[in-house]
C-alpha cells in the first residue's frame, strides 16, 4: 500500500527512475554480450525500449552510461549477497560459493569488457580504475563479514584477498566454456584450506 | 660454431624463421597494447618491419596470426619457466612467484584480449578455447613438477589448480594499475597455505 501511494504521489519521478534502471540493466547486458566496441548509447536505448533522447537525458556520455551501469549492477549483486545471509557470518562453504558466483555471471562478463576496454581508452581508464577499487573494497568488506574473518590476526586479510583473486580467476576460466564441474572441485578444496587458515 | 654453420647452410629457411618470429612477437605486443579491435595483419607487419605480402605468406588469416602468436609466446614463457628451475622441483616461494609472474606481463594482456574477443567472434572462439586448454594443461603440468606436488593425494590437484586460478585473477587485478605491493603480500600468505596443503 505504501509503495502504491508513493507511485501515486510522484508518478513522474518514478517513471524516470524506472527508465534509468531499464537503461542500466540493458547496458550491462549489452556489454556482456557485445563488448565495449559493440556497446553504444543507441544500441542500449533500443534494447531498453527508450528513445535516444531520453537515454541522453539520463546519461550525457557513453562512458557515463556504462560506468554507472556496472556500478548499479554491482550494488544490486552486493545487496543480494548480503540478503542471502541476513544474520551476517554464515557457513563457510555457502559463503565461498556465493562469493565465487559473483564472478561467473553476466555482471562479471560486463565488468571484464569494461576493464579491458579501459586499458586502451584514456577517457575510460581513470573512471573504471576508481570504480573497480570501490567495488573491490565493498566485496572485500562483505567477504570478511560473511566469512567471520578476524582481520586483526596476521595473514587473514591476505587470505581473504587471495580468495577473491581466485574467484576472479575462476570467472575468467568460465568465459569461453562452462567450467562449473572443475570450479566446484577447486572451490571445495580451497574452502577446506581457507577454513583451516581462518580458524 | 655449429649455429653459424647451420645459418650458412640454410640461409633462406633461417631468414623465413626469423621473419615468422618477428611477426609473432609483434603480434603479441600489438594485441597487448591495442586489443583485438586495433590488431590487424597490416599493423603487425608494419611493426615487425615486414611487407604485408610476406606476412600473409606466413599467416593466411588474422585469426591464424594471433592464435599462433599467443601460442608461440606461451611456449617461450613455459620454456623460460622450466629453465629457471633446471633441477625440477624447487623452493616453493620462488616457484609460486615465477608462476604468478606468468600472468602479469604482456603475454597475459595479449591472451586476455584474445580471450575476451573470442567471446564475441564465432570464428575465433573454438580456436582460442582449444589454445587456452592446451596452455592451461602445460602450465598445470609445470606447476605440479616444480612445486613437487603429489597428485595421487586427494585434493592436491585442486590445490594446484586453485593456485593458478588465483594467479590469473591477480593478473586481472594488475591490468589497470600496478598491483605489485598488494600482490606480493597475497602471494606470500597463499604460499604458506599451499605449503601446508602440499606437505
CB contact under 8 A, A176 and B119: yes
A-chain residues within 8 Å CB-CB of B189? 155, 158-159, 162
Helices H, strands E: what count in chain B? 10, 0
Asked if residue A78 has pLDDT above 70, the reply is yes
Whether the CB of A178 is below 8 Å from some CB of chain B: the reply is no
Query: Where is pLDDT greater, at B15 or B159?
Result: B159
B-chain residues within 8 Å CB-CB of A193? 159, 193, 196-197
The two most distant CA atoms of chain A are separated, in Å, by 56
CB contact under 8 A, A182 and B161: yes
Measured CA to CA, the distance from residue B158 to residue A183 in angstroms comes to 9
pLDDT mean across residues, chain A: 92
Q: How many residue contacts between A and B have a Cβ separation below 8 Å?
A: 124
pLDDT, position A154: 95
pLDDT, position A166: 98
A141: number of Cβ within 10 Å: 12
Measured CA to CA, the distance from residue A149 to residue B160 in angstroms comes to 24
Domain count, chain B: 1
- What's the angle, vertex CA B23, arms to CA B17 and CA B28, rounded to 5? 130
pLDDT, position A106: 87
pLDDT, position A1: 43
Q: Is the distance from CB of A183 to CB of A170 less than 8 angstroms?
A: yes
ipTM of the complex: 0.90
Would you tell me which residues 93-152 of chain B have a C-beta closer than 8 angstroms to some C-beta of chain A?
109, 112-113, 115-120, 125, 128-129, 132
Whether the CB of A35 is below 8 Å from some CB of chain B: the reply is yes
User: Which range has the worst mean pLDDT, B1-5, B139-143, B149-153?
Assistant: B1-5
Instruction: Give the model confidence (pLDDT) of B172-192 as tens digits.
Output: 999 989 999 999 999 999 999
**Any residues with CB less than 8 A from the CB of A139 and at least 6 apart, and which?**
A78, A99, A102, A164
Residue of A128, A158, A192 with shortest CB distance to B176: A128
Asked if residue A10 has pLDDT above 80, the reply is no
User: Which range has the worst mean pLDDT, A166-170, B3-7, B37-41?
Assistant: B3-7
Nearest CA in chain B to A182: B158
Query: Where is pLDDT greater, at A35 or B192?
Result: B192
pLDDT mean across residues, chain B: 92
Question: What's the pLDDT band for B123 if we cut at 50, 70, 90?
Answer: confident
CB contact under 8 A, A185 and B158: yes
A52: number of Cβ within 10 Å: 13
pLDDT, position A8: 58
- What is the per-residue DSSP string for B3-52? HHHHHHH-HHHHHHHHHHHHHHHHHHHHHHHHTTTT--HHHHHHHHT--H
Query: Where is pLDDT greater, at B71 or B8?
Result: B71
Measured CA to CA, the distance from residue B164 to residue B75 in angstroms comes to 17
Measured CA to CA, the distance from residue B32 to residue A196 in angstroms comes to 39
CB contact under 8 A, B166 and A166: yes
Measured CA to CA, the distance from residue A137 to residue B122 in angstroms comes to 36
Measured CA to CA, the distance from residue B121 to residue B143 in angstroms comes to 31
Distances (CA, A) of B57 to A65, B38, B41, B45: 44, 21, 11, 11
Across the range A151-169, mean pLDDT stands at: 97
pLDDT, position B37: 85
For residue A38, the domain's CATH number is 1.10.357.10
Residue B86's SS3 state is coil
A-chain residues within 8 Å CB-CB of B172? 112, 115, 168-169, 172
pLDDT > 90: what percent of chain A? 79
CB contact under 8 A, A190 and B125: no
User: Which range has the worst mean pLDDT, A39-48, A88-97, B92-101, B107-116?
Assistant: B107-116
Measured CA to CA, the distance from residue B35 to residue A168 in angstroms comes to 20
Could you list the residue range(s) of the whole structural domain that residue B144 is in? 2-198
Asked if residue A92 has pLDDT above 60, the reply is yes
Instruction: Give the model confidence (pLDDT) of A108-140 as tens digits.
Output: 999 999 998 898 788 899 999 999 999 999 999
Measured CA to CA, the distance from residue A69 to residue A110 in angstroms comes to 9
Task: Please tell me the distance in Å from B141's CA to the nearest CA on chain A.
Answer: 16
Distances (CA, A) of A98 to A164, A166, A197, B92: 11, 13, 19, 30
Amino acid at each position: 500500500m505504501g509503495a502504491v501511494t508513493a507511485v501515486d504521489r510522484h508518478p513522474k519521478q518514478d517513471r524516470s527512475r524506472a527508465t534509468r534502471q531499464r537503461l542500466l540493466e540493458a547496458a550491462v547486458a549489452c556489454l556482456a554480450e557485445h563488448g565495449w566496441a559493440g556497446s553504444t548509447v543507441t544500441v542500449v536505448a533500443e534494447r531498453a525500449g527508450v528513445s535516444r533522447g531520453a537515454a541522453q537525458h539520463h546519461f550525457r556520455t557513453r562512458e557515463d552510461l556504462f560506468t554507472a551501469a556496472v556500478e548499479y549492477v554491482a550494488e544490486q549483486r552486493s545487496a543480494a549477497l548480503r540478503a542471502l545471509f541476513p544474520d551476517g557470518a554464515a557457513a563457510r562453504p555457502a559463503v565461498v560459493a556465493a562469493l565465487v558466483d559473483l564472478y561467473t555471471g553476466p555482471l562479471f562478463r560486463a565488468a571484464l569488457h569494461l576493464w579491458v576496454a579501459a586499458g586502451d581508452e584514456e577517457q575510460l581508464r581513470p573512471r573504471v580504475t576508481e570504480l573497480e577499487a570501490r567495488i573491490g573494497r565493498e566485496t572485500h568488506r562483505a567477504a570478511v563479514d560473511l566469512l567471520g574473518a578476524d582481520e586483526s590476526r596476521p595473514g587473514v586479510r591476505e587470505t581473504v584477498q587471495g580468495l577473491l583473486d581466485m574467484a576472479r580467476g575462476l570467472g575468467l576460466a568460465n568465459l569461453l566454456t562452462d567450467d562449473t564441474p572443475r570450479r566446484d572441485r577447486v572451490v571445495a578444496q580451497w574452502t577446506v584450506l581457507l577454513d583451516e587458515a581462518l580458524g
